């Protein structure tokens, strides 16, 4: 597998991990929507990818799987809600849940196509 393929696969795996963690955070937010003093959770992942992209742009060389070692999704609390405003807006959480589901499915579909191509190559085109 080439270096680019390794980086791509590492990114897909990390994105799947982030989507899984995001699903858990959204579920927790919905479950605790009516809890007093609950502070919603979010996943920090895309911001880290942005930092990796900036580092790549500055360095000019290709991104390696090692460069991605520090990029991993983690939970953090949302900023405190404004007084008088609900901490969790269930309709917005449902939108986030739908978006995350679509992203997760797209990642799995891409990964499935990739493994299918590899399987065909390994079997020399035979089924």
What pLDDT, on the 0 to 100 scale, is given for residue 40?
Answer: 94
- Percentage of the chain beyond pLDDT 90 is 40
pLDDT digit string (tens) for 16-75? 999 999 999 999 999 999 888 889 999 999 888 887 777 667 665 666 666 677 788 999
Question: What residues contact residue 13 under an 8 Å CB cut-off, 6+ apart?
Answer: none
Question: What residues contact residue 29 under an 8 Å CB cut-off, 6+ apart?
Answer: 40, 41, 88, 93
Query: In this structure, what are the phi and psi dihedrals at residue 124, rounded to the nearest 5 degrees?
Result: 55, 40
| pLDDT higher than 90, residue 80 | no
Q: What DSSP letter does each residue of 68-106 carry, written as one string?
A: GTT---EEEEPPPPPTTS-S--HHHHHHHHHHHHHHHHH
Q: How many CB atoms lie within 10 A of CB 17?
A: 14
95 falls in which pLDDT band (50, 70, 90)? very high
100 falls in which pLDDT band (50, 70, 90)? very high
């Amino acid at each position: 597998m080439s270096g680019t393929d390794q980086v791509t696969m590492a990114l897909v795996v990390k994105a799947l991990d982030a989507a899984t963690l995001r699903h858990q955070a959204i579920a927790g937010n919905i479950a605790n929507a009516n809890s007093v003093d609950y502070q919603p959770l979010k996943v920090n992942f895309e911001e880290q990818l942005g930092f990796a992209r900036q580092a790549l742009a500055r360095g000019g060389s290709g991104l390696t799987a090692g460069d991605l070692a520090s990029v991993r999704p983690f939970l953090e609390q949302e900023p405190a809600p404004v007084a008088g405003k609900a901490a969790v807006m269930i309709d917005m959480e449902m939108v986030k849940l739908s978006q995350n589901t679509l992203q997760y499915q797209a990642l799995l579909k891409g990964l499935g196509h990739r493994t299918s191509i590899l399987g065909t190559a390994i079997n020399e085109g035979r089924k």
